[in-house]
Every structure is written in C-alpha cells, then in structure tokens.
Amino acid sequence: MSKIIIRWLLTALPVLFGVSVITFVLSSLVPGNAARAILGINATQEQVDALNTELGFDEPLPVRYWTWLTGALHGDLGVSVVNGLPVTEQIGARIGITASLIVGAVIVAAVLGVAFGVTSALRGGWLGKAVDVVALIGMAIPGFWFALVLVTVFAVQLRWFPATGYIMPSESVTGWLQSLVLPLLALGIPSAAPVAKQTRDGMLTEMGKDYIKVLRARGVRERSVIFRHALRNAASPVLTVLGIVAVVLLGGTVLAETVFVIPGLGGLAVNATSSHDIPTIQGLAVVFTMIVMVVNLAIELTYALVNPKARA
Amino acid sequence: MFPTLKSREASASTTTRPFLRPAFAATVGVAALALAACGSQADPEASADVSAAGGEMTQGGELVFAEQQAPPSLDPGTLDRAYTDFTMLAYDPLFYLTPQGEVEPRLAESWEFVGGENKELDVTLREGMTFSDGDPVTADAVVASLEYSRDAQGNHAHFLEDATFEATGDLTFAITVETPNPMLPKLLTQQYPIGQIISPQGLADPAALDLASDTHGAGPYVYVPEESVPGDHYVYEANPDYYDPEQQHWDSVEIRIFADKQAALNAATTDQIMMFKGDGSLAAQAQSSGLSVIANPGIMTGLFLIDRDGETVPALGDVRVRQAINYAIDRETVTTALLGEYGIPTFQTAIEGADGYSEANADLYAYDPDKARELLAEAGYADGFELPVMTAVFAGFEQMGEAIKGQLAEVGITVTTDVKTDIAAYSEGATDKSFGAFVGGYDANPIYQQGLDLFLPSSNFFNGFGTESEELNDLWLQAASADPATQADLDVQIEDYLLENAWFAPVAWAPVMYFATDSIGGVETSAGSPFASPLAWYPAS
C-alpha cells in the first residue's frame, strides 16, 4: 500500500505542477480584459491601466505565475477579480457539496450497475437482453432531459422531494438527504449503465472459467461462488469504469447544479470562465486535478484490496 | 406537499481584498416621463396600464425570490442597474419610483427645480433618519455619496457627469447640472443604484462595500453576510432603525440565484420561491401551474446599428443600407413568433402615444423586402454583405438575433452571430468596436433620456462607436430646456431624425415578465416602470 501511495505522490506532484502552468498560460491567452470588466464601460483607459497594475496583470507571465505559486503553496489561491472573495474560501464552501454529489452518484451507479450486471449475467435470456437495452438507453438519454423528468415527476407532480436547493447536513440531516435524492438519481442512473454492462461481461467471462466448475464440484455454496469468487475477479475492470465514471461526473455536476440549483464547484467554474475570472479558474483547475488524482489513488488502493497481485 | 427548502451554507471567514469595484453594462434604462416639478411627479400615460398580481396585504414572514445573475459587489456607486434589486433593499434612494411610474419621496421629503432651466434641483431630506451603521442621514452625507457615485465611473455615472452638489443646510442640498436635466429625480430613484445613498462610514472604505461585508445604507433591510453565500443566495433582515416600519413588509428577504429559468419555474411551482423573472417561453407553463404572469411590453428590443460611420462594417456607413435593414424585417411575424400576445411590433424608439412618437413616420418601415433589395443595390451591395452581430443568452436576445438573421438573409445580408453568456462580456462587446451591430433592449424612455443613453456621443453602451450628429445634439439641447409644447415638437423631430437616418432597427416592444405565486402581492409593472421593485412587494393572504 505504501508503495502505491509513494508512486502516486511521485506522479501527482508533477501533474499538478504541469496543469497549473498550462492553465496559467492558457488563461493569459484568453481574450478579454478583467480590469475593464471590473470597472465598467465608463472607466478611462488610465483607470483600467491602474487597476491592471494593481492586479499585477502588467507583470511578466513568469513573475505572475511565481507569485501565484508561492501563494498556492501556502494555501492562498488568490482572490476573485470579479467579486473580490478569496478563491480558497469560495472553493472551500463548495467542494463538500460537489464531493457529496460525486461520491453519492458513484455509489448509486455502483449499486445499480453491479446489481443489474450480475443479475443479467446469471439469468441471461430476456433479462440479460433487457439489461443490455436499458444500459444502452441509459447511455443515450440526455442527462439534462432525464434530470428535468425526475424533477417534473417527483418534485413538481408528486412533491416527494424538493425541486431545487441544497441543505447542509449540519442544518438538517433529513433535509440534506432529501435534497440529494433527485440529483444523485439524475447523475447516478445514467452512470450505472456502463457499470452494468462491464459487470455483466466480466461475470459472464468469469462464470465460464474452469475454477468456477471446480468450486461448485467442491460443494461451495452458489452465493459464495458468485460473490466471493466470480464477482471479485470481475471487479477490476468494473473499478476502472467506476473511476472513469467519477471523473466524468466531475463535469456532470455542472448539469445537476444547474437543474437543481446547487451551489457546487461546477457552477463556480462556469461563472468564472464566462467572466474571465482567472484566479478562480486557476484555483479550480488545480482542485479539479487534485480530485481526479485522488480518485485515481482510491481506485488503485481498491484494486490492491481486491486483487493482492496489484499490491506489488 | 413538500415544505419549502432553503439553500444554506455555513459562512466562511469574510476577509477580502479591499479594492475591487466591479461594474457591468447597462442594457436597459428607466422608463417614463419625469416632469420638472416639486413633490410627487406622475406620468399619466405610464400609470394608465399596470400589470399586477397579489391578494390582500399582510406583514411579516420571509420574501424569497430569484434572480438570474449574481452581483459582483454590493456597491451602489459602481453596480449596474441589472443588479439594483440587491442594493435597493439596503440602500434607500433619494426618490422612489412607484410601479405606476410616479416619482415619490423617500429619503428626500421634497424637491423642486429652481431657475426655470431644469439645471438646479433643491432637495430637502426627512428629519431624524439614520444609516444602518448609526451615521445620521444629513445633507453632507448625501452630497458625499452622490459625489462618490458620480466619480466611481459605474455604468450610470454619465447621468451625473456634469453635476455638482452642495449642502445648503443640515437637511438641504442643491444639485446643479450644466446641461438641463428635467429627469434628474427619476434618475435618482431606486431603479438606478447611483440614487441609493451610502453612509460616511461606508464611503470611508468603498472597496469594502462587497459581498463579505455589512451594508451601509438607510434602507428597510440590512444585508447579512454570515447567512449569505455569494453566487448562491443573499440574505437580508429588517433594519431595526428604519424610519418607516410600515414599508418593511417582510421580516427577512432572501434572493436566490437561478441561472436556469426552468429550475426557477419548478421552484416557484413547488413554493420554494415566490417570484422570478423570465420570458415568454415560460408563460403558458407558468399559467398552467397556477402562477400569475405580470408583463408590460415596455422594452424596445431589436438591432442596434452602432457602426454608423462604417469603421468595421463599411456597408453600415451608408444610410441606405441601414434603411434597407429596417425594410427587410417583417416585424409582425417576428413579434408574433417570439413574443406572442406579449409583444408589440415597432421600428420607433418611442412607444405609440408617448413622448416623441412620430405620427408622420408611423408607416415608414413597413415590411418591404423589395425596397430593401433596391436600396442595397443603390448602395453597391446588390450581392449583400456580411454583418457580425452580437447577441446574448439572456432576455431573449439570442432568439431575436436568430429571427433577424433569417429576415436579413432574405435580402442577401449574411448575419454571423456571436452569443455572449454574461453581462460583462456583452458590455465589452458593445463598447469595444468588435461588432457593427448588436441585439439589445432599451426601456420606453422619454427622448431626453434616450439622448443620454442611446444617441449622444457620451452614451457609451448604445453608441459604442461614438457617432455624433450636430443636428441631433442641437435638437436634444433645445428640447432639454424648452417649454413642454416646444419640447414635444422637438422630441418628434429627434425621433424623425433617428428614423430617417436609421440609427437603429428596433423590432418589438417586449415585456419584462414576472412570474409570481399567490403568496406575494405588489408585483406590478407599467410602461413607466417596467421593472418590478422588491420594495413594493408584500406578503399576500
């Protein structure tokens, strides 16, 4: 395990550094003048120039990057040029919400995907075909539309769950769970489709192998054959898919945050991009990269738990 | 029914960098006439047709409504009017614009133009008022606030650019302008943040008038940064020191940001919010969900042909081309398709029956594509030309741009649209000369204010290339200080000039649409006040 973590650190640090450099350079190439956007259309060029100086935008790129990097290493990602709020503070207030969405949706995708995949592999016949069809539909339906259908049916018509909003668990655990149900279903159900397909294929392969016959011949209970042996061996590719799902969901949260009006990182990223808020974009790029890296680490550690050979 | 939920987060620490002065562009101005007189001022035309919703007035509870875009700060001196709902709750203005388009007292108890030229406005403040931070509301304090707003270079600073302010007593002061300005009181109502007064403590560090700090106004509510999350929701509580508790209809107010209008409709349908702004595409669904639709067609939407000297699009420098564009648009069809029963076709900047409307040119640009082709051929563009046009995702501008694109294609003009997603980028596009024309909206304002906003060289936003016409300037200056009858005649001459020289290509009078539940009252608009003000809303039984 420690080897995995050390290897991960050796990879993560250069990747983070590279991403920060690339984002910084690309952000500087984006057309638009933040000082003009801040000061408005009546500001004189002198005022715009003065604010550019104050913001440090007239410094050479390497100097600006070094200033940002030294701040970032101390936990200071700068301040938004649009609303003047610290980037670290804005991200800190939202990262827990986005994490709830991603982790919750991955759990929904894993539970549904594995359940459908195993059932389909074992039962075969029309049920297997049905799972294939449902998985295909799950991958094809537009997420935005699916989210709106959920809202219309379960919030607007049936009034079972709130249509919008997010409640902090510190305020009400029940309210928090209720506010998350529809967003998690909207994100998790379409994500379950590839998991189900991968699980089904993996289980079919494993169940056809000789060791399964041997286990059965030894009189091992069928439940143990399926879940302790076949599913465990089929799990590695499923975990890979779940890792990809988690990374894709990082982008997918923008959709859920928009439809369900949830104050997460996705909405912050959209607003920052459209308003040339470079410090916020920069901070978010680093945080998103870190999330992806952490997901990768989690997948590798889970691999190691499931498959001892991967611990080497 | 599921109970109304609140979006809440624990507030983080609130230290911020104290220097930013965000400001964004104006897309629309205030509507209706302002008469040069003292006391309450009314526009009979404007108050004649009011759209409203709501039952019997009660008091207390929480007002929860939605806005589409989050404000970059809470500094009235620099903030665009697009965000004025966020500041008017905490910063009382000198004057108050009623939903009927009348100017009424607020911090100012009375006012009067003196000298007969609409150049000096004497104002008397109420006695015994204080700002929420404890500072007394005095003439000196108000003068300092107005001077700050004039100099802060926000998007409405041009209304005050030639104004000087002088305290003439503890509660009296004078506003003097070089150019006659009969509309001054209306420009200092809650509809423009520059009319919202900031306390001396607030002005001591204006960079701290941000989203992480307390507000420093004399309004009915105070902002609560600890309970707000910028970008998501903004919470206000009743100001215990407010001078007129009867105007505090609510115990608290929460403004939530809903970037997606369908999400806002869902929230209103399930009683999570009481009111939101939308467009015609939601009207039928909202009505079938039991919401009230409040709408007045008071926003002139269409194409603003700003490159009139042909700097970036040479064709637009030829008046025949601009006229051809006007002839080429089938306004009846576009208006019906986009706005249905809520829109009125127009090619004039003045609404029919109002100040400046030209009866003589009432049919000038009736749809005539053949005439358009003829004019294009005369101007040397028989094969058409390419016209880059900026539009935006908000206020229905994108759809209007697509409709205009289709209309102009019929006469050979190829429109390429660039759709902006936020107000800052839209503002920049209108003023940096990157587009010869853009799709926008502007209130049904009197000709005087149209001069300030639309066609004088100083009107940055709608005159981004700074086109100047000596004839137009002279007419406007004469009208500004003329007697009412002469002014009316001059205003029509100005409208005729704009029409004959095709400075714009308006398409329709469109409404600002409000969708309200039956738990809120006082959501009213009129041609004189097309934007509903949260100060007027009350709990309805």
Helix (H/G/I), strand (E/B), else coil: B339: helix
List the 301-340 stretch of B: residues with Cβ below 8 A of A: none
In this structure, are residues B365 and B348 in contact, taking their beta carbons and an 8 Å threshold?
Answer: no
Q: Look up the CATH superfamily of B298-511.
A: Dipeptide-binding Protein; Domain 3 (3.10.105.10)
Q: Of the ranges A306-310, B288-292, B487-491, B525-529, which one carries the lowest mean pLDDT score?
A: A306-310
List the 93-132 stretch of B: residues with Cβ below 8 A of A: none
Q: For B395-434, how does the pLDDT look when each residue is reduced to its tens digit (9 = 90+)?
A: 889 999 999 999 999 999 999 999 987 777 788 888 888 8
Q: For B452-466, how does the pLDDT look when each residue is reduced to its tens digit (9 = 90+)?
A: 989 998 887 899 899
Q: What is the pLDDT of residue B431?
A: 83
Q: What is the ipTM of this complex?
A: 0.78
Q: For B62-111, how does the pLDDT look when each residue is reduced to its tens digit (9 = 90+)?
A: 999 999 888 888 999 988 888 999 999 999 999 999 998 899 999 999 99
A69-75 mean pLDDT: 90
Cα B484 from Cα B36, distance rounded (Å) = 10
Q: Does B271 touch chain A (CB under 8 A)?
A: no
Q: What share of chain A has pLDDT > 90, as a percent?
A: 30
Contact residues, chain B, for A33 at CB < 8 Å: 428
Q: Of the ranges A308-312, B307-311, B436-440, B496-500, which one carries the lowest mean pLDDT score?
A: A308-312
Query: Is the per-residue pLDDT at B367 higher than 90?
Result: yes
Q: What is the pLDDT of residue A24?
A: 84
Cα B163 from Cα B189, distance rounded (Å) = 16
Mutation site for B-interface testing, chosen from A88, A157, A164, A271 by largest number of B Cβ within 10 Å: A164
Residues composing chain B:
541
- Find the CB nearest B5 among A43, A175, A259: A175
Do A267 and B259 lie within an 8 Å CB cutoff?
yes
Q: If 0-12 CB within 10 Å is exposed, 13-18 middle and 19+ buried, where does residue A218 land?
A: exposed
Do A42 and B155 lie within an 8 Å CB cutoff?
yes
Taking all residues of chain B, what is their mean pLDDT, rounded to a whole number? 86
Query: Is the per-residue pLDDT at A279 higher than 90?
Result: no
Residue appearing with tokens 């001591």: B204
Contact residues, chain B, for A57 at CB < 8 Å: none
List the 382-401 stretch of B: residues with Cβ below 8 A of A: none
| Between residues A147 and A31, the one the model is more confident about | A147
Contact residues, chain A, for B256 at CB < 8 Å: 165, 261
Contact residues, chain A, for B70 at CB < 8 Å: 83, 271
pLDDT category of residue A141 using cuts at 50, 70 and 90: confident
Q: Of the ranges B23-27, B263-267, B395-399, which one carries the lowest mean pLDDT score?
A: B23-27
Distance from CA of B316 to the nearest CA of A (A): 23
Q: For B465-522, how does the pLDDT look when each residue is reduced to its tens digit (9 = 90+)?
A: 999 999 999 999 999 888 889 999 999 999 999 999 999 999 999 988 899 999 999 9
Query: Is the per-residue pLDDT at A159 higher than 60?
Result: yes
In this structure, are residues A107 and A188 in contact, taking their beta carbons and an 8 Å threshold?
Answer: yes
From the list B308, B358, B350, B533, the residue with the least C-alpha distance to B449 is B350
- Global pTM reads 0.80
Do B231 and A39 lie within an 8 Å CB cutoff?
no
CATH number for the domain running over B76-219: 3.90.76.10
pLDDT category of residue A131 using cuts at 50, 70 and 90: confident
| Between residues B322 and B78, the one the model is more confident about | B322
Q: What is the pLDDT of residue B35?
A: 25
DSSP letter, residue B99: T
Distance from CA of B185 to the nearest CA of A (A): 22
List the 3-62 stretch of B: residues with Cβ below 8 A of A: 5-13, 15-25
Q: For A169-210, how does the pLDDT look when each residue is reduced to its tens digit (9 = 90+)?
A: 888 999 999 999 999 999 999 899 889 989 998 999 999 899
Residue appearing with tokens 């926008």: B440
Do A151 and B266 lie within an 8 Å CB cutoff?
yes
Same fold, B76-219 and B298-511: no
Q: What share of chain A has pLDDT > 70, as a percent?
A: 93
Q: For B435-451, how does the pLDDT look when each residue is reduced to its tens digit (9 = 90+)?
A: 999 999 998 888 998 99
Give me the DSSP letters along B185-230: HHHTBTTSGGGB---HHHHHSGGG-STTS-----SSEEE-GGG-BT
Contact residues, chain A, for B272 at CB < 8 Å: 162-165
Q: For A84-118, how does the pLDDT look when each residue is reduced to its tens digit (9 = 90+)?
A: 788 999 999 899 999 999 999 999 999 999 998 99
Q: What is the pLDDT of residue B267?
A: 95
Query: Is the per-residue pLDDT at A48 higher than 90?
Result: no
Query: Is the per-residue pLDDT at B265 higher than 70?
Result: yes
Q: Does B77 touch chain A (CB under 8 A)?
A: no
Q: What share of chain B has pLDDT > 90, as a percent?
A: 65
Query: Is the per-residue pLDDT at A33 higher than 80?
Result: no
pLDDT category of residue A34 using cuts at 50, 70 and 90: low
Distance from CA of B365 to the nearest CA of A (A): 32
Q: What is the pLDDT of residue B7?
A: 33
Q: What is the pLDDT of residue B314?
A: 96
Q: What is the pLDDT of residue B53?
A: 61
Give me the DSSP letters along B111-147: EEEESSSS-EEEEEEPSS-B-TTS-B--HHHHHHHHH
Q: Does B346 touch chain A (CB under 8 A)?
A: no
Instruction: Locate the domains of chain B by residue range.
Output: 76-219, 298-511
Q: Does A272 touch chain B (CB under 8 A)?
A: no
- Find the CB nearest A263 among B2, B9, B460: B9
